[in-house]
């Protein structure tokens, strides 16, 4: 008799679990994130097929993967919050540079291919070997750190297939760094900037620092001749 009662109780419990599982709808979807590029309509369109089920039947991994297919999504977390809520947190990719003509690279080195690149034309350009986006970005960040103290802004940074570096500043000045000891050579040029003065630096068209002990300069066509005696280093040497 006890066995029969036990079986009946278990059967009732199973029925209750089944009923709860199938009759607890998802009433709320809470989305957390700060969005500049992702629209609410995009998120809604991705979520709609996944939330027309009960709270317990919601496919958390499926929702995460569906949202991750959006171009601007960096990372997604999805959690059930009892009794009827899905909590979703979305981190948006932050564009750092343009990658070639039609793509962007995020701060974490992820490729972004927006439909329209026009809103991001103010970002510097990074050109590098295919498949080496992350490495190229890290090199560019290091170069930018070396330049920022001199208020020099990168407009374009390129690495060719032989790993030779070239910088183009927002002023139009090009700096050729070659394939070896690039940061050391760049620092050598930067140390001379204060001696030359900003006016002279602005008159430069190309600086070639690939030489072992110095660098060569090509001047802009309208550059005025330099009176080397007026430079601080020359004045110090004559005292």
C-alpha distances (whole Å) from 63 to each of 51, 85, 86 are 9, 14, 10
- Which tens digit of pLDDT belongs to each residue from 92-125? 999 999 998 899 999 888 999 999 999 999 999 9
Chain position carrying tokens 């079986």: 7
Percent of the chain with pLDDT over 70: 84
173 touches 204 (CB < 8 A)? yes
Which element (helix H / strand E) includes 182?
A: helix 182-196
Which element (helix H / strand E) includes 104?
A: strand 103-106
- Which tens digit of pLDDT belongs to each residue from 159-193? 999 999 999 999 999 999 999 999 999 999 999 88
Give the pLDDT score at 186: 94
Rounded-to-integer distance, Cα 72 and Cα 186, Å: 35
Sketch out the chain's domains with CATH numbers. 2-92 (3.10.20.310), 95-230 (3.40.50.11690)
3-state secondary structure of 94: coil
Rounded-to-integer distance, Cα 194 and Cα 233, Å: 10
Instruction: Name the band, by pLDDT with cuts 50, 70 and 90, for residue 221.
Output: confident
Give the pLDDT score at 161: 92
């Amino acid at each position: 008799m006890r066995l029969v009662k036990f079986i009946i109780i278990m059967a009732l419990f199973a029925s209750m679990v089944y009923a709860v599982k199938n009759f607890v709808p998802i009433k709320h979807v809470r989305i957390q994130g700060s969005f500049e590029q992702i629209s609410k309509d995009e998120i809604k369109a991705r979520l709609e097929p996944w939330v027309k089920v009960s709270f317990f039947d919601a496919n958390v991994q499926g929702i995460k993967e569906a949202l991750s297919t959006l171009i601007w999504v960096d990372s997604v977390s999805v959690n059930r919050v009892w009794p009827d809520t899905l909590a979703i947190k979305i981190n948006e990719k932050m564009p750092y540079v343009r990658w070639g003509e039609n793509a962007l690279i995020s701060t974490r080195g992820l490729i972004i291919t927006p439909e329209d690149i026009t809103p991001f034309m103010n970002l510097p350009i990074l050109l590098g070997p295919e498949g080496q986006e992350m490495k190229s970005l890290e090199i560019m960040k290091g170069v930018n750190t070396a330049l920022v103290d001199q208020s020099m802004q990168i407009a374009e940074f390129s690495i060719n297939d032989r790993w030779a570096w070239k910088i183009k500043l927002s002023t139009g000045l090009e700096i050729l760094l070659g394939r070896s000891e690039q940061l050391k050579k760049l620092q050598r040029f930067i140390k001379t900037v204060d001696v030359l003065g900003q006016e002279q630096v602005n008159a430069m068209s190309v600086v070639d620092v690939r030489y072992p002990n110095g660098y060569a300069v090509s001047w802009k066509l309208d550059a005025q001749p330099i009176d080397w005696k007026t430079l601080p280093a020359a004045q110090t040497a004559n005292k």
